[in-house]
Amino acid sequence: METSREARPTSGRRSRWALAGFATAVFVAAAIGGLGVQGTTDEYASLRQPGWAPPSWLFGPVWTVLYALIALAGWLVWRRVGFSPALWAWTAQLVLNAIWTPLFFGAGRYGLAFAEIVVMWLAIGLTVALFARVSRVATALLLPYWAWVTFAAALNLAIWRLNT
């Protein structure tokens, strides 16, 4: 009978392929988001925004870093416990992440996007709590993401209120 330590997929070629898989999953979520913002730069610029809204050029670099952290965090947890409830939560928050951008930018449904980002925020919180049981490093890697989504939710709410 294997012990949980022996069953852990922690090293070697399988681990590298898993890291590539986590990176691919995050890339797909980002690509869906990228499709949701194509051709919306002028529309976004025309929205009334709070004075504290960052310039639109900042979103790309921030999300690039955050997506790398999300992928690495998921992979670190996978290395410790395999595909577990923590990674189901990770997957759920990533799906919600992919949905938000098309709702906000593509459909212009700011209220629905706000409701969705609140659910995403809760899913990230659950992921953080579950990751904390497995890896402090993975948990720490998700905290900037959770902070940014907190900020994005506030910005979403402000834009919704200013443009209705």
Residues 6+ apart with CB under 8 A from 142: 69, 70, 73, 124, 127, 128, 131
Higher pLDDT, 41 or 150: 150
Domain at 4-162: CATH code? 1.20.1260.100
State pLDDT tens for residues 100-110. 988 998 888 99
Nearest CA-CA partner of 100 in 4, 5, 34, 19: 34
pLDDT tops 50 at residue 164:
yes
Residue 143 has pLDDT above 70, yes or no: yes
Report the pLDDT value the prediction gives residue 8, as an integer from 0 to 100: 54
38-65 pLDDT, tens digit each: 666 777 888 999 999 998 889 889 999 9
pLDDT for residue 7: 46
Find all residues with CB under 8 Å of 40, minimum gap 6, and list them.
105, 106
Can you read off the two tokens belonging to residue 75?
């992979």
pLDDT at 1: 37
Which pLDDT belongs to residue 2? 36
The whole-number pLDDT of residue 32 equals: 84
